[in-house]
Structure 1
């Protein structure tokens, strides 16, 4: 009987939908949002953080690996990221070529305002996921 219960539990756990996203920056606004999402939005999974400083590359923040901006599109493809999330006024700023690459991909760029609460930012992310057909 325990085997059947465990099997059923595994089936239902696998069906849980999670939305992979990539978060730009590791300054306080992104740091705070990442922590909030990990605690409050179990269906959103941050697969990577993006920062341009060499001393942060391949380190972890809240258990999430930090990568260079040049890795962004490879990571978006690898993890099938639904959203790339940037918070205004935070580094690194995405160059026009990278923005064009994002626009041409299946991933949507979402710009959040740093003066908005984490709860409001989460609402914006859910709206973007819904608009993205998710």
Structure 2
């Protein structure tokens, strides 16, 4: 394994209808099936992580290119049917809303962020990720 910079730990008990808690207790939530109220689900947690990581990568890339941006990233994580084994898989749409640059500059920054973001690297070739870019 490469040089570890940070490790986060969370423990889940009971699967999709159980409980998840991080080692520092910042996350301490009941889990529910998607579309059910009263808790969160793995897709929501993945969407929160991916959107925040991607926004950080986008802003880092922009700063390296001396571009001052205002950005908002929404990750839509979908649970979809996997036709290869009758199971399930996830797909993601990352919607970037970016101010301070032109549409073409925003698209370029998002592509570069997608190459750099650790979540994008981890999912590359494993799940479908669609990028949508809009300027404000």
Which interval holds the TM-score relative to the shorter structure?
Answer: under 0.3
Higher helix share: 1
Q: TM-score, with normalisation over the residues of structure 1?
A: 0.25
Higher strand share: 2
Greater relative CO, 1 or 2 (CA 8 Å, sep 6+): 1
Q: TM-score, with normalisation over the residues of structure 2?
A: 0.25
